[in-house]
Chain A
Amino acid sequence: MSGGCPGCVAAPLAQEVAAEGAGQILLSLPGIHCAGCIADVERVLRAQPGVRSARVNLTLKRARIDAPEGDATALSEALQRAGFEARELDEGMLTASESDRRARALLLRLGVAGFSMMNVMLLSVAVWSGATEATRDLFHWISAAIALPTIAFSAQPFFASAWSALKGWRLNMDVPISLAIVLAAAMSIYETAESGRHAYFDAALSLTFFLLAGRYLDQRTRSVARSAAEELAALEVPRALRPDGDLVAVADLRPGDLIRVLPGARVPADGVVTEGASEVDRSHLTGESLPVPAGPDSALAAGEVNLTGPLTLRVTAAGQDSSLHRMADLVSIAEASRNRYTSLADRAAQIYAPVVHLLSLAAFAAWMAATGDARLAMNIAVATLIITCPCALGLAVPAVTTAASGALFRQGLLIKSATALERLAEVDTVVFDKTGTLTEGEPLPLDAREKPAEVRAVAVALAAGSAHPLARALNTDLRETAAARLADLKEVPGCGIEGTWRGNPVRLGRAAWVGAEPVEETATYLAIGDAVHVFRFEDRLRPGAAEAVAALQAKGFRTVLLSGDTAPAVARVAARTGIETWQAGLLPDDKVRAVEALAEEGARVLMVGDGLNDTAALAAAHASISPASALEAARAVSDIVLLGRSLEPLPVAVATARSATRRIKENFNIATLYNLVAIPIALAGFATPLAAALAMSASSVTVSLNALRLRRVS
């Protein structure tokens, strides 16, 4: 760029403006938690070439990077080198802005309601402390001028919801709320015009304010959980590679299309291999921990991972028709039973709403009959409606779930469904999947270090040339061994790797290929000339797995292990974690049946699983948890996603859920108790606006404070 040209000087600025929004990269950072993390992450990111700015959002645990030519993979690798777990997010999949907007609209209404409430309260205090005649009327009129527009604006969410409920001939919690607000406002106007002594503007406003606060809390909890779930979905970018090198969306694939699956890639659609030889990892689909060979004519299912050689596939079923779809049918049947669960709040509302209306109607009728004074009777009916209005009830659940999901989020657990906490609290049996859930899903060599030095040296030299998971694990385990010098190193896809050592042919790979007797466990075989050595592997337990199982058993939970893997492998893991009941070799619908059988015995099952073969069982269980490493489908049906690698927060989650449900019930009791005291007062006609305002605020504040006790759990 030449210095003097004004056009060139202006150009970078113009580019900057044009690139706004285009070069944005989003990274998910599940591990960050403090000011130091923010500073470190931002410093690392800014030091990367091409990064213009980077900003961490700690609430959502993600970073937004402005880098027009930046490479997301390079950035996340740089962060990983600095010790932060980082994953790329597909921005197109994130629709958080929608719920974001709704939360902001609610906050806006809340702010307006709060402002008006305080001003009207101020005026009301003057009236309560003895303003009379013209002053009182003036104050009431000013209150009306503030309150009416506020109610029209702030209470809209309640009116809209009540109206849609009434249109469908139903009653929900918003009907008594809206009725109380509207009646209170109308009554107050009438009283003010008639120069009456009491007006309910402050009551109507504080009702709106407290209920909006509950609504906002609710919205915030859900939107954090939802955006996190979407975030996890956005981690998988569904693309398929055509033989000519073009990338196409999986949705555009048709049966008969040819696609290429490179080593390390996930098979995007069901198909039959036409070319190439390799091994595939089916652990996500079936729970089998051992890779399976694949060659021409072998059928592959979407979701399997290709390991060693490139494959060309003829698509037999894509998208909705693939094997995933068959799994989805199972899932939807299982989910239907869970959707019948009604939350505590719904059950409370079903009883509460009609009672409130009847009570207030009865109050009007009784006072009308007793005194014949319609204005007095109406006044008392409105007072009853306001006092009984479910302010505390409206706050009871959101305040608790917000506190609980906040506490769990700090433990690395994301709550996705509104009723998850309540269902989790009822659980008494925990069913685990093996591969990828109790174990890491990655093999670890058992006896490699005990082999003679020469054997190790040859094994390392051969393993270094392969990307197969067993070879990689072997290489990591024996990294201190000096590699032997080999000639003619060559990988044979689907079989293994071979070379020549001191004139002898050497091979590392499948039993049949090296000419060995296969053993029962996961193993790879090394042939040096005619001598054969076996390297056994074991799937490593996930950190915290044994501790979590022990803690659950100590609390009296029944623990069960259900796996699709072979019996010896399952038995070993069961023994190491201390689980006594286990079943091996299960197909997806066997798992569902096993979970349903437990449910029929009266058990409330918590399913913990990660693979596609667990998805239907996850949906069938009373509550379900999946680790963040799980397949998207598994995460989508589970109630709670475990962000970290350790299983240790599991018992904490159950404990928090139990105390959350306890708090919700306590809050309902507080609200009921309050109503037992307040309703007779209102019915007797002693409820002045001052008393109503005080009682209502007291009950709301008590309920919120009770919810805050949850933050100390764990």
Chain B
Amino acid sequence: MTVLVYLIPASLLLGGLGLAAFFWALRSRQFEDPEGDSRRILITDYDETPKR
């Protein structure tokens, strides 16, 4: 059972990293145009001005 001492913090840490990534994505406004973003990968032009 001592393995739990490592596993629980590890799982919490990984989950927390995911959460932090989500926060970052939200802050950098990556959920503003879901429709457009899903279509943009089909555009062959090089996108010179990705979203700021």
Residues in chain A within 8 A of chain B (CB atoms): 34-35, 38-39, 43, 53-60, 104, 107-108, 111-112, 115, 118-119, 122-123, 135, 142, 146
Contact B39 A35 (CB under 8 A): yes
B1/A135 in contact, CB under 8 A: yes
Q: Are A59 and B19 neighbours in the complex by a CB distance under 8 Å?
A: no
Contact B43 A35 (CB under 8 A): yes
* Cβ–Cβ < 8 Å partners of B42 in chain A: 35
What total of A-B pairs shows CB separation below 8 Å? 56
Question: Does B12 interact with chain A (Cβ within 8 Å)?
Answer: yes
Set B4, B19, B32: member contacting A57, Cβ < 8 A: B32
Asked whether A119 and B22 contact (CB < 8 A) given A35-B42, A107-B31, A135-B1, the answer is: no
B33 touches A118 (CB 8 A): no
Residues of B participating in the A interface, judged by any CB pair closer than 8 Å = 1, 4, 8, 11-12, 15-16, 18-19, 22-23, 26, 31-36, 39-40, 42-43, 45, 49, 51
B15:A60 contact, CB within 8 angstroms? no
The 28 sampled A-B contact pairs (Cβ below 8 Å) are A35-B39, A35-B40, A35-B43, A38-B40, A38-B43, A39-B43, A39-B45, A43-B45, A54-B49, A55-B49, A56-B36, A58-B36, A58-B39, A59-B32, A59-B33, A59-B34, A59-B35, A60-B33, A107-B26, A108-B26, A111-B23, A111-B26, A115-B15, A115-B19, A118-B15, A119-B15, A142-B8, A146-B12
Given A35-B39, A59-B33, A107-B26; 20 other pairs, CB 8 A cutoff: A35-B42, A35-B43, A38-B36, A38-B39, A54-B49, A55-B49, A58-B33, A58-B39, A59-B32, A59-B34, A107-B31, A108-B26, A111-B19, A111-B26, A115-B16, A115-B18, A115-B19, A115-B22, A119-B15, A142-B8
Q: Check B11–A119 contact: CB distance below 8 A.
A: yes
Residues in B with CB closer than 8 Å to A53 are: 49
Q: Which residues of A contact B49 (CB under 8 A)?
A: 53-55
Cβ of A123 to closest chain B Cβ, rounded Å = 8
A57–B23 contact, CB under 8 A?
A: no
Q: Is the CB of A104 within 8 A of B26?
A: yes
Contacts of A107 in B (CB 8 A): 26, 31
In the assembled complex, the CB of A406 is this many whole angstroms from the nearest CB of chain B, namely: 10
On whether the beta carbons of A57 and B36 are closer than 8 Å, the reply is yes
Name A's interface SS.
helix
- Interfacial chain B residues near A104, Cβ < 8 Å: 26, 31
Q: What A residues does B15 contact at CB under 8 A?
A: 115, 118-119
How distant is the Cα of A35 from the Cα of B1 in the complex, in angstroms? 54
Chain B's nearest CB lies how many Å from the CB of A518? 54
Which residues of B have CB within 8 Å of A58?
33, 35-36, 39
Task: Name the A residues within 8 Å of B26 (CB-CB).
Answer: 104, 107-108, 111
Q: Report chain B residues within 8 Å CB of A38.
A: 36, 39-40, 43
Chain B residues with CB under 8 A of A123: 8
Q: Are B43 and A119 in contact (CB under 8 A)?
A: no
Contact A122 B36 (CB under 8 A): no
Q: Which 4 pairs show the lowest CB-CB distances between chains A and B?
A: A58-B36, A35-B39, A35-B42, A59-B35
How many angstroms between the C-alpha atoms of A227 and B8 in the bound complex?
44
**Could you tell me the distance between the alpha carbons of A58 and B35 in the complex, rounded to whole angstroms?**
6
Contact B45 A59 (CB under 8 A): no
Alpha-carbon separation in the docked complex, A146 to B43 (Å): 43
Name the B residues within 8 Å of A57 (CB-CB).
32-33, 36
Residues of B within 8 A of A146 (CB): 12
- Chain A residue at smallest Cβ distance from B41: A35
When C-beta atoms are compared, the residue in chain B nearest to A103 turns out to be: B31
A112 contacts B19, CB within 8 Å?
yes
Q: Which residues of B contact A135 (CB under 8 A)?
A: 1, 4
Q: In the complex, what residues of A have CB within 8 A of residue B22's CB?
A: 111, 115
Contact of B1 with A108 in the complex, beta carbons under 8 Å = no
Q: Are B45 and A108 in contact (CB under 8 A)?
A: no
The CA of A620 and the CA of B15, in the complex, are separated in Å by 53
B42: shortest Cβ distance to chain A, in Å?
A: 4
Considering the complex, give the chain B residue whose CB is closest to the CB of A60: B33
* Residues of A contacting B39 in the complex (Cβ-Cβ under 8 angstroms): 34-35, 38, 58
Query: Smallest CB–CB gap between B20 and chain A, Å?
Result: 10
A residues in contact with B36, CB < 8 Å = 38, 56-59
Could you tell me the distance in whole angstroms from the C-beta of A106 to the nearest C-beta in chain B? 11
CA–CA, A108 and B23, complex, Å? 7
Cα(A54)–Cα(B36), bound, Å: 14
A146 to B49 Cα, complex, angstroms: 40
A96 CB, nearest partner CB in chain B, Å:
11
Q: Which residue of the partner chain A has the closest CB to B44? A: A39
Least Cβ–Cβ distance between A526 and chain B, in angstroms = 52
Q: Residue of B at shortest CB range from A138? A: B4
Q: Tell me, rounded to whole Å, the shortest Cβ–Cβ distance linking A596 to chain B.
A: 41
> Would you give the shortest CB distance from A580 to chain B, in whole angstroms?
42
